[in-house]
Structures are given as C-alpha cells and as structure tokens.
Amino acid sequence: MIIPQTPKGFRDFLPSTSLKRKLVLAKIVSVFERFGFDPLETPAIEFAETLKGKYGEDEKLIFEFTDRGDRQVALRYDQTVPLSRVVAQYPELPKPFKRYQTQNVWRAENPQKGRFREFLQVDFDVVGSSSTLVDSEIAQIISAVLKELGFKKFRILLNSRPLLNDLMKSSGVDENLVTGAITSIDKLKKIGIDGVIQEMVGRGIPTEVAKKVIESFQNAKPNQEVQSVLDTLKDSGEDMSSFVFEPTLARGLAYYTGIIYEAEVEGFSAGSVCGGGRYDKLIGQFSGTDYPANGASFGFDRVLEAMEEQGLLPEVKTTTKVLVTIFSKDLVQNSLKVAQELKAQGINTEVYLDTDAKLEKQLKYADAKGIPFAIILGPEEAEKAVVNLKNLSTKEQTQVPISEVITKLT
C-alpha cells in the first residue's frame, strides 16, 4: 500500500476551498479586465538560463532539474521574467502590452505557516510605456482590486527607487554600500531607528552618516516621479487617503528601476498583500532593446488570509442547488426525468447516484455537501405529477409542481 500524502509545502484544495479560491480569483480578474488587461499563460517549465540572474540571492529557491534530453530546466518562479521573455519572443504583440497572469509558481522555500512551495500569483503588468499614466494606473488597479474584494481600509505605499538611491548618496553613503543601506532602511518600522543605525554601522557605514540617513528619510519629500503619480491619481478622482508616500519602502527584487508599490490591509499584520514596481531594464536582457515596464503582483494566499480574518470570504461549499433523491427502484425514472428538466433550465442538479440508499442517508449526504435543497419524489407525488421540495436549512417541505421548483431555484 502507498501512503496517501503530499510533499511538504504542497496543498490539495478540496471542493469548498477550491470554490472560494475560484470566486475570489474571478473577482480580481474582473477588475483587470475592466482596466483593459487580457490574459497570458506561459509554461510551467522554462530553460533554467531564462530564470537565472534575475532574482538576486533568492535564485537558490528555483526548482531546477535536468530533463531527459539533458537540458537544464526550471519550474516557473514568478510571472515577471516569463512575461519579459514573451515580450522579447513575440515582437508582434501590440504595445502597450497589458496582460494579467494567474498561474502557480514554485519556490523551494522552507515550508512554514503561510509559506508554500507551490502558490498562486496574481499579476498584472503594462509593457511598452514609461508614461506616468501607467505608474498611476497600476496603483489605481491595486486599489480597485482591494475594494472589489470588500476591504474597507487599506494603504498603497508608494516610493521611487531612484529617490532611495539619491537619499542615500546625498546623506554620504558610499556608492557600493547603498544597496545594503537600502535593505536596512526598509526595516525601519520593524527594528526602529536604533536598530537601523546599528545594522548600517555593521555594514561599514560611519555612525554619523547612518544618523544623517535616518534624518534624510524622515524629512524626505516625494520626488517628481512620485508626485506626478499622486497628482494623476487625484485627477482620476481617487480617494487620496489610500495612497501614501513611504520613503523607506524598498522592495526586495533587484530589477526595479523606478516607482515601487506595496499594499497593506488595515488590521492584517501578516504582511503586504501586493507589491510591484517599474522594471525598465529586465526585458532588454532577452530582446537586446529595453522596453519600459511596470506591474504588480497579489500574493493570493495572503489576500485570502486577510479576507478570512475580516470575514470577507464567501461562504460556499458547492455550486449544486438541489439533490434529486431516489425514492425506490420503481421511481428511478421519475427522478431522472425531473433532474433532466431542472438541468435543461440551467439549474445545477445532482441525482443521488445509488438506487438502494435510504432517504435519510440521501438527505444527510446533501447536508454534508452543503446542497441547499432536496427533491423527494414518492409514489404519491409521481401520480400527482408534483415533487416534494425540501429546504435543508429550514427543514421546510412543500409539495409543488416542477415549474414552481424551477422558478424558486433560478
């Protein structure tokens, strides 16, 4: 016998969970489409060299292996690098290219609470325009998605990579210590001023300079890039209380070149639910020519967790509306006919698929599955050409003609 189990960090989604995920995903996708984005799908397996050199030190988490043809291949690690490859590979795609992509990615993370080795990313990106209209639309979409999902209070943090660099350099941080210093300042909220100074000093930055850095960031004002985005958002009629300039925001990935974003849901402490930014130099690695690009990615599991915490997840166990029970072997045909009629009307209908189960067992099954109604069709009903419609939550049962069932369930 084989022990039925999944490898650590991998998950099965049983029907009720899978349905909830589908519903939430469909809501997010509807927002992307409302803003004029179309879907893209890329393969699970890419040549390893397509992915390498893009993710910084996290590169070690790529699931890489040698295939039967002795090629080094790797599982999709994110959706930004595949998008970049696609843009370079199909130059005929009209630009700006606006695409969304909702596929699984794989990372050999140490599995822990809320961290998985296979998880869904929900990305949207605009390639081929460096306009500030793109930069503000990305922020606007993050906001529209969070609203669509029912979140009342959230903050979309905005910053600019060039601004981060400028602030570091003008504070006197040595050119080759800037990246490290940015990593430290990113932790300001987590480890506090003293913690950041200590960490910077540990990186070889003089204490005086580290103090100067703190001061510059505390007094930082939006640069022109950030300011134009804020202005455009205002022009678009957005509620500006959700958009916040956050000079210490850094974002991990190496490939950002301009504006960066992160979204936080109020009351949800497990981290940001969305992040992104401009990456004008990534596609050039595949195409030889640079294409300006900007986009963001929702961590689907984080989004669901936040929705769950705030009671925003839809309660759904099945899409089935009614179970047509089987009263006895003689009446199977009657039940099948009724079920056929309901299905013809587009009503999701399940027939109990056993001819010798007791009625009680059949109703218990409907309950366990979360089916809201059951139809019972005994000899009396068959004769009168009616059915018993039972509401399984109120336990109310009424003898009605089939037409009434259709009206009630559509």
Binding site for L-histidine: residue ranges? 78-80, 107, 121, 125, 251, 255-256
Instruction: In whole angstroms, give the CA distance from residue 56 to residue 127.
Output: 22
When binding is defined by CB under 8 A, the residue of 24, 28, 122, 134 that contacts its own copies is: 134
* 269: contact with its own copies by CB under 8 A: no
When binding is defined by CB under 8 A, the residue of 68, 113, 190, 358 that contacts its own copies is: 68
The least CB distance from residue 390 to its own copies, in Å, is: 16
Please report, in angstroms and rounded to a whole number, the separation of the first and last CA atoms in the chain. 46
Detail the residues annotated as belonging to a binding site.
78-80, 107, 121, 125, 251, 255-256
Instruction: In whole angstroms, give the CA distance from residue 377 to residue 389.
Output: 9
Instruction: In whole angstroms, give the CA distance from residue 286 to residue 288.
Output: 6
When binding is defined by CB under 8 A, the residue of 25, 108, 331, 386 that contacts its own copies is: 108
When binding is defined by CB under 8 A, the residue of 57, 237, 360, 396 that contacts its own copies is: 237
What is the CA 289 to chain-centroid distance, rounded? 30
Q: Say which residue the tokens 């589908």 belong to.
A: 22
* 129: contact with its own copies by CB under 8 A: yes
The least CB distance from residue 69 to its own copies, in Å, is: 8
Closest to its own copies by CB, 97 vs 245, is 97
Q: Which long-range contacts (CB under 8 A, 24 or more apart) does 175-183 make?
A: 177/203, 177/204, 177/205, 181/205, 181/213, 182/250, 183/250
Closest to its own copies by CB, 42 vs 310, is 42
When binding is defined by CB under 8 A, the residue of 318, 331, 359, 406 that contacts its own copies is: 318
Q: Between residue 216 and residue 235, which ones bind its own copies under the rule CB under 8 A? A: 232, 235
Ramachandran category for residue 102: left, alpha or beta (phi over 0 → left; psi -120 to 50 → alpha): beta
The least CB distance from residue 39 to its own copies, in Å, is: 4
Contacts of 398 (CB under 8 A, 6+ apart): 388, 389
Q: Between residue 5 and residue 64, which ones bind its own copies under the rule CB under 8 A? A: 5-8, 10-16, 18-19, 21-22, 33-36, 38-47, 49-50, 63
Name the segment binding its own copies (CB under 8 A); options: 153-161, 204-212, 328-336, 399-407.
328-336
Asked if 48 contacts 73 with a C-beta cutoff of 8 angstroms, the reply is yes
The least CB distance from residue 112 to its own copies, in Å, is: 15
Ramachandran category for residue 57: left, alpha or beta (phi over 0 → left; psi -120 to 50 → alpha): alpha
* 137: contact with its own copies by CB under 8 A: yes
Strand order in the sheet with 397-400: 349-351, 322-324, 373-376, 387-391, 397-400
* 107: contact with its own copies by CB under 8 A: no
SS3 of 102, please? strand
Q: How many CA atoms lie within 13 A of 156 on its CB side?
A: 34
Distances (CA, A) of 310 to 27, 141, 151, 231, 269: 17, 21, 8, 31, 12
* 94: contact with its own copies by CB under 8 A: yes
The least CB distance from residue 156 to its own copies, in Å, is: 17
* 71: contact with its own copies by CB under 8 A: yes
The least CB distance from residue 202 to its own copies, in Å, is: 30
Name the segment binding its own copies (CB under 8 A); options: 271-279, 364-372, 378-386, 390-398.
364-372
Closest to its own copies by CB, 114 vs 192, is 114
Q: Between residue 376 and residue 395, which ones bind its own copies under the rule CB under 8 A? A: none
